[in-house]
């Protein structure tokens, strides 16, 4: 008898985050260019204020900055970054004062240069 | 007749010929580097009044340096004495040599070294000789006085009224040293010749006779002239590789500019000409607020232009400029520094995909006035609430265009060098604006206001910043204002004041509302929040803001009033006095009219935001 039948709920398949597979190259590159990115709290304030609903965090996630071994591949999602208006609201609301506009530009440059086609 | 040649002239002639050939090649490359339209502007402009106007401007700026006199008298005198004095030495030397030799066309070195060739007995002292000698001595003294200032300036810029001056490259230092040497050596060479021959006027004559009394002056004549020719040769040889290219380039720039050529991506020749025309005078360094906030950050235009010109890379400085335009305002050459910076930024293609926002539907009404808050204003809801109050109090037929907060004017993309994205946003918004059929567009954001004014094609639509709109309403007596107690200082946002020339209207509003306007007299300051500098760290931004606040509140106002949501956001956390928007103070000062009752909820919100 499976757990599903026994208790009325089931358990997910075992999932594992293999840290050996994490590709930090893009993150390292961007951190070099925008050192303040290191202090991101992942608080999401940028996403909340973004007029096009991406936010710096959204862009970073779309480009797969954090965990490249997930299913985000090749050119990341340049469309999401191209949507950015560089209006700078995210920079104003950011509690850590990250230079989000520069981050967006550098991220886009990396995507264009195919630096993250892994 | 005495020979008009001596081997020492070769050093000067070599250097001068080299620079001459370089200049001819450069002018050709600048001209053919223009776009077809710009080339046509130049060729069609040559035979018009513009040529004369350009000539007048060349005399005014390249010789008299009128704009530098506006920065400071001593600084202006220093530049003028070197440029105008040297020019007069060349001119009088030329007239003098032509007068005596009766040859209009002669090798250029003859007039440059005229005092040497003049020395012989075959040129008997004519009635004119003392006159020429006097004027030559006078202008030499004039140049030497300016040179003294220039040398002192290098080590103590404060003497000529500058806080800092440019740190030069090695070739520039070599050239500046040879320039400094030219005039003292010329004085010695002329004095020695005059001493040996018993000629000369008050300067060269007296020094010459003094030298003749002490040393065997006859044997010194040739060595001095060799040295003079050598420093001239070095200077001219170094000229094409140093900042002194501005001497010939600035004149060409003035002509091209008068014919209507402007910086654009299509005219790389004009960009190169602009880079060559920068004299690295360093006036932009003092104008830049970053040079006080963080002296180690060399983002100022003089350094930026240098890195572009010698292709040394900007080292991140291209992203650290606030683009407030203070340097452009101060630049004595009148270079288009802000467009130059934006041309140098890499276009990464951001903003090229339009945001997936549903098209704005007309609600059936046909508003006469369209209100565009702008994205930054949405972070300051008090401004929007106040504008609503003002519109309703003036019984305007208005509509809130970007109530959803999702419209972008494109200026942030433009400032970050993302030209394609900016154009696409502009096209989209232009069409949406025109579809509303409104005849007046009011915006609360100077950043949006500037791009609407400069780039948008909106036929039949007036564009106003809300401070202008409020001023008009007050003038037309559509708003009734209760005079408020206290004093206020106006902070002029860069994009509004310097950028669009909206200077008097907000001040008039302030003077209507407050008892006293204690705005200090200064050129518009940057609040530090600028969208121009994506790479500037928050610490420097705060230092810029603190510097601006300390200058703005020097007369201790009760309120610091601004017209830009960005400035308000930047100043609020650090200002010792309350920072408010001009719309908020107007809304708070409105005479309450009972018959047009305002929603009490909105009114409460407004009052809460106003300290």
Note the pLDDT tens digit of each residue in B199-239.
888 999 899 999 999 988 888 999 999 999 999 999 999 99
* Most A-contacting residue of B323, B413, B534, B571 (CB-CB within 10 A), to test interface: B534
pLDDT at A70: 44
Give B289-323 as a 3 state SS string.
Answer: CHHHHCCCCCCCHHHHHHHHHCCCCCCCHHHCCCC
On whether the CB atoms of residues B169 and B244 are closer than 8 A, the answer is no
pLDDT at A108: 84
* Residue B46 burial class via C-beta count within 10 angstroms: exposed 0-12, middle 13-18, buried 19 and up: exposed
Q: How confident is the model at residue B86 (pLDDT cuts 50, 70, 90)?
A: very high
Give per-residue pLDDT as tens, B127-139.
566 788 899 999 9
Cβ of residue B299 closer than 8 Å to a chain A Cβ: no
Residue contact B534–A102, C-beta within 8 A: yes
Mean pLDDT, rounded, for B70-82: 92
Same domain, B61 and B147: yes
CATH number at residue A50: 1.10.1060.10
Residue contact B351–A109, C-beta within 8 A: no
The A-side interface with B (CB below 8 A) comprises: 34, 36, 49, 51-53, 79, 81-89, 92-93, 97, 99, 101-102, 104-105, 108-109, 112
pLDDT at B189: 94
Domain that holds residue B583: 475-589
**CA closest to A59 among chain B residues:** B350
Mean pLDDT, rounded, for B304-317: 88
CA B579 – CA B567 distance, rounded (Å)? 9
Percent of chain B, pLDDT > 70?
A: 93
B481: DSSP letter: B
Structure tokens at A3: 């757990």
pLDDT at B115: 86
Structure tokens at B24: 């001819």
Mean pLDDT, rounded, for B312-334: 90
Chain A and chain B share a number of CB contacts under 8 A equal to 96
Q: With 70 as the cut, is the pLDDT of residue B121 above it?
A: no
Residue contact B425–A51, C-beta within 8 A: no
Mean pLDDT, rounded, for B539-558: 94
Residue B606 lies in a domain: no
Mean pLDDT, rounded, for A47-65: 81
Same domain, B137 and B241: yes
Torsion sign over Cα B144, B150, B151, B152: positive
Q: How confident is the model at residue B2 (pLDDT cuts 50, 70, 90)?
A: low
Residue contact A101–B531, C-beta within 8 A: yes
Residue contact A92–B354, C-beta within 8 A: no
Give the CA-trace dihedral at B42, B46, B47, B52, to 10 degrees.
Answer: 130
Residue B276 lies in a domain: no
CA B349 – CA A105 distance, rounded (Å)? 9
In DSSP notation, A28-81 reads HHHHHH-GGGGG-----HHHHH-TTS-HHHHHHHHTT-S-TTSS--TT--HHHH
CA B572 – CA B482 distance, rounded (Å)? 25
CA B292 – CA B299 distance, rounded (Å)? 12
Residue A17 lies in a domain: no
Same domain, B443 and B390: yes
Q: Which residues from B are below 8 Å from A84, CB to CB? A: 350-351
Residue contact A105–B350, C-beta within 8 A: yes
Same domain, B62 and B149: yes
Cβ of residue B348 closer than 8 Å to a chain A Cβ: yes
Give the total number of structural domains in chain A.
1
Give per-residue pLDDT as tens, B44-60.
999 999 999 999 999 99
* Residue B538 burial class via C-beta count within 10 angstroms: exposed 0-12, middle 13-18, buried 19 and up: middle
Cβ of residue B569 closer than 8 Å to a chain A Cβ: yes
Angle at B280 (CA atoms; ends B274, B286), nearest 5 degrees: 115
Q: How confident is the model at residue B599 (pLDDT cuts 50, 70, 90)?
A: low
Same domain, B470 and B480: no
What does residue B461 show for φ and ψ, rounded to 5 degrees? -125, 120
Residue A70 lies in a domain: yes
How many angstroms separate the Cα of B444 from the Cα of each of A52, B479, B525, B530?
Answer: 20, 18, 19, 16
Structure tokens at B209: 């006779």
Q: How confident is the model at residue B537 (pLDDT cuts 50, 70, 90)?
A: confident
Same domain, B32 and B134: yes
Helix (H, G, I), strand (E, B) or coil at B399: strand
Same domain, B446 and B515: no
Mean pLDDT of chain B: 89
**Which candidate from B353, B418, B569 shows the least CB-CB separation from A83?**
B353
* Residue B504 burial class via C-beta count within 10 angstroms: exposed 0-12, middle 13-18, buried 19 and up: exposed
Q: Which residues from B are below 8 Å from A101, CB to CB? A: 412, 416, 531, 534
Residue B340 lies in a domain: no
Give the total number of structural domains in chain B.
3
Bridge pairing between strands B514-517 and B462-465: unpaired
Give per-residue pLDDT as tens, B143-197.
999 999 999 998 898 988 888 888 899 999 999 999 999 999 999 999 999 888 8
Q: How confident is the model at residue B359 (pLDDT cuts 50, 70, 90)?
A: low
Nearest to residue B548, comparing CAs of B535, B534, B564, B610? B564
How many angstroms separate the Cα of B20 from the Cα of each of B14, B236, B239?
Answer: 10, 9, 10
On whether the CB atoms of residues B97 and B123 are closer than 8 A, the answer is no
pLDDT at A78: 65
CA B345 – CA B351 distance, rounded (Å)? 15
On whether the CB atoms of residues A99 and B537 are closer than 8 A, the answer is yes
Mean pLDDT, rounded, for A27-51: 87
Same domain, B455 and B382: yes
Same domain, B377 and B503: no
Domain that holds residue A84: 23-112
Residue A16 lies in a domain: no
Residue B336 lies in a domain: no
Residue contact B350–A86, C-beta within 8 A: yes
ipTM: 0.79
Residue A96 lies in a domain: yes
Which of B439, B474, B509 is at the close of a domain?
A: B474
For residue B513, how far is the Cα from the chain centroid? 34
B63: DSSP letter: I
Residue A5 lies in a domain: no
What does residue B490 show for φ and ψ, rounded to 5 degrees? -95, 125
Q: With 50 as the cut, is the pLDDT of residue B85 above it?
A: yes
Residue A15 lies in a domain: no
Which of B193, B216, B247 is at the close of a domain?
A: B247
Same domain, B207 and B163: yes
CATH number at residue B407: 3.40.50
Residue B407 lies in a domain: yes
Residue contact A86–B534, C-beta within 8 A: yes
pLDDT at B100: 82
Cβ of residue B375 closer than 8 Å to a chain A Cβ: yes
Which of B455, B474, B493 is at the close of a domain?
A: B474
Same domain, B432 and B500: no
Residue B68 lies in a domain: yes
- Total Cβ atoms within 10 A of residue A29: 16
Range with the poorest average pLDDT among A67-71, B392-396, B550-554, B587-591: A67-71
Residue A1 lies in a domain: no
pLDDT at B609: 44
Q: How confident is the model at residue B383 (pLDDT cuts 50, 70, 90)?
A: very high
Q: How far is A111 from chain B (nearest CA, A)?
A: 9
What does residue B102 show for φ and ψ, rounded to 5 degrees? 55, 30
pLDDT at A74: 45
Q: Which residues from B are below 8 Å from A81, CB to CB? A: 350
Element (DSSP H or E) covering residue B579: strand B579-581
Mean pLDDT, rounded, for A59-63: 76
Q: With 80 as the cut, is the pLDDT of residue B608 above it?
A: no
How many angstroms separate the Cα of B22 from the Cα of each of A5, B19, B66?
Answer: 90, 5, 28
Residue contact B379–A49, C-beta within 8 A: yes
pLDDT at B578: 94
Mean pLDDT, rounded, for B586-603: 68
Give per-residue pLDDT as tens, B428-461.
999 989 988 899 999 999 999 999 999 999 999 9
Same domain, B447 and B497: no
Residue A11 lies in a domain: no
């Amino acid at each position: 008898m499976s757990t599903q039948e026994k208790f009325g709920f089931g358990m997910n398949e075992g999932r594992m985050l293999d840290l050996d597979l994490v590709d930090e190259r893009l993150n390292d590159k961007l951190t070099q260019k925008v050192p303040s990115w290191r202090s991101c709290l992942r608080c999401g304030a940028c996403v909340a204020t973004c007029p096009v609903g991406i936010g710096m965090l959204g862009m970073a996630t779309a480009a797969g900055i954090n965990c490249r071994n997930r299913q985000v591949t090749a050119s990341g999602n340049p469309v999401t970054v191209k949507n950015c208006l560089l209006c700078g609201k995210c920079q104003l609301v950011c509690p850590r004062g990250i230079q989000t506009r520069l981050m967006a530009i550098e991220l886009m440059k990396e995507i264009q240069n195919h630096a993250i086609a892994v | 007749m005495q020979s008009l040649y001596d081997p020492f002239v070769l050093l000067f002639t070599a250097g001068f010929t080299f620079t001459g050939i370089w200049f001819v090649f450069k002018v050709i490359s600048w001209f053919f580097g223009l776009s077809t339209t710009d080339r046509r502007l130049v060729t069609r402009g040559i035979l018009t009044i513009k040529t004369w106007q350009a000539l007048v401007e060349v005399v005014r700026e390249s010789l008299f340096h009128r704009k530098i006199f506006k920065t400071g008298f001593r600084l202006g005198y220093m530049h003028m004495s070197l440029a105008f004095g040297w020019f007069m030495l060349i001119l009088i030397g030329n007239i003098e040599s032509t007068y005596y030799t009766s040859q209009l066309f002669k090798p250029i070195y003859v007039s440059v070294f005229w005092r040497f060739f003049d020395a012989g007995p075959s040129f008997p002292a004519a009635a004119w000789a003392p006159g020429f000698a006097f004027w030559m001595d006078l202008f030499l003294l004039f140049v030497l006085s300016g040179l003294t200032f220039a040398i002192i300036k290098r080590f103590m810029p404060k003497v000529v009224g500058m806080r800092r001056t440019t740190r030069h490259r090695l070739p520039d230092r070599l050239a500046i040293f040879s320039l400094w040497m030219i005039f003292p050596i010329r004085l010695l060479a002329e004095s020695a010749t005059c001493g040996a021959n018993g000629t000369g006027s008050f300067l060269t004559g007296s020094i010459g006779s003094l030298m003749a009394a002490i040393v065997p002056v006859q044997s010194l004549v040739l060595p001095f002239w060799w040295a003079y020719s050598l420093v001239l040769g070095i200077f001219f040889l170094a000229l094409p590789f140093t900042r002194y290219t501005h001497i010939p380039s600035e004149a060409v720039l003035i002509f091209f500019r008068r014919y209507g050529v402007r910086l654009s991506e299509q005219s790389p020749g004009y960009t190169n000409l602009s880079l060559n025309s920068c004299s690295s005078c360093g006036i932009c360094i003092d104008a830049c607020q970053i040079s006080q906030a963080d002296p180690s950050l060399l983002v100022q235009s003089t350094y930026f232009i240098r890195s572009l010109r010698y292709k040394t890379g900007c080292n991140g400085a291209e992203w650290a400029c606030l683009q407030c335009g203070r340097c452009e305002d101060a630049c004595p050459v009148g270079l288009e520094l802000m467009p130059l910076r934006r041309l140098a930024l890499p276009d990464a293609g951001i903003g090229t995909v339009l945001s997936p926002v549903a098209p704005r539907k007309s609600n059936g009404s046909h508003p006469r006035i369209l209100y565009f808050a702008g994205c930054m204003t949405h972070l300051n809801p008090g401004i929007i609430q106040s504008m609503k109050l003002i519109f309703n109090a003036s019984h305007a037929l208005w509509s809130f265009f970007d109530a959803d907060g999702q419209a972008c004017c494109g200026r942030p993309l433009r400032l970050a060098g993302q030209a394609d994205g900016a154009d696409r946003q502009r096209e989209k918004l232009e069409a949406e604006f025109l579809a509303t059929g409104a005849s007046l567009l009011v915006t609360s954001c100077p950043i949006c206001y500037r791009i609407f004014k400069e780039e948008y094609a909106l036929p039949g639509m007036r564009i106003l910043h809300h401070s202008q709109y409020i001023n008009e309403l007050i003038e037309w007596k559509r708003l009734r204002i209760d005079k408020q107690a206290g004093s206020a200082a106006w902070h002029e946002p860069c994009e509004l004041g310097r950028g669009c020339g909206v200077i008097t209207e907000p001040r008039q509003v302030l003077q209507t509302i407050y008892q006293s306007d204690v705005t200090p007299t200064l050129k518009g300051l940057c609040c530090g929040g600028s969208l121009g500098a994506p790479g500037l760290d928050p610490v420097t931004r705060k230092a810029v803001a603190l510097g601006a606040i300390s200058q703005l509140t020097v007369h201790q106002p009760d309120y610091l009033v601004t017209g830009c949501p960005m400035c308000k956001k930047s100043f609020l956390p650090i200002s010792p006095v309350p920072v408010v928007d001009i719309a908020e103070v107007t809304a708070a000062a409105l005479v309450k009219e009972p018959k047009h009752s305002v929603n009490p909820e909105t009114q409460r919100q407004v009052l809460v935001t106003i300290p």
